[in-house]
Amino acid sequence: MNGRTRRTLLAAVTAGSIAGLSGCAGVLLPGGEDGGEAETVDATGEETVSVLVGADGGFSFAPAALRVDVGTTVVWEWTGVGGSHNVIDRGGAFESGLAAAEGHTFEHEFSTPGTYEYVCTPHQTRDMEGTVEVVER
């Protein structure tokens, strides 16, 4: 991971921590004024991008919304917080197993453009979900 991606990821985690401390838990990166959608992190140009699993008190992905190029590998990294988590694409493109251990990883290379919506099935009722928008360069 290069410096730009690491800074973007740290900014997302910091924003989520601040939101949790201010009583706005459940939305990692507020989108519009209503706080409804997560802000999309533009990671185009990166070969590999990391997403934390179990961020913001254990029940979020950070960042929750990404934009990447075709051919980018996304690596989900477990924080060890919030119990067992998984990463399952709603369209069936990828699926990790359940894991709880800090440092566990799951990766997927995105070879087809489109928007991929994924969830943590044990915590989807807590809105633990994310998206990866894959674009052509």
Does 20 have pLDDT greater than 90? Answer: no
For residue 23, pLDDT over 70 is answered with no
Total structural domains within the chain: 1
- Cβ(134)–Cβ(70) under 8 Å? yes
Tens digits of residue pLDDT in 33-58 = 334 578 999 999 999 999 999 999 99
| Tokens standing for residue 76 | 């989900």
CA-angle at 104, arms to 76 and 6, nearest 5°:
45
Contact status, residue 78 vs residue 53, Cβ threshold 8 Å: yes
Q: Which helix (H) or strand (E) holds 7?
A: helix 3-21
pLDDT in tens, 58-91: 999 999 999 999 999 999 999 999 999 999 999 9
Q: What is the pTM of this model?
A: 0.75
CA 43 to chain CA centroid, nearest Å: 12
Domain enclosing residue 124, as ranges: 3-135
- How far apart (Å, rounded) are the C-alpha atoms in residues 83 and 3? 30
Residue indicated by tokens 């359940």: 98
CATH number of the domain at 20, please: 2.60.40.420
pLDDT at 34: 38
Q: What is the pLDDT of residue 130?
A: 98
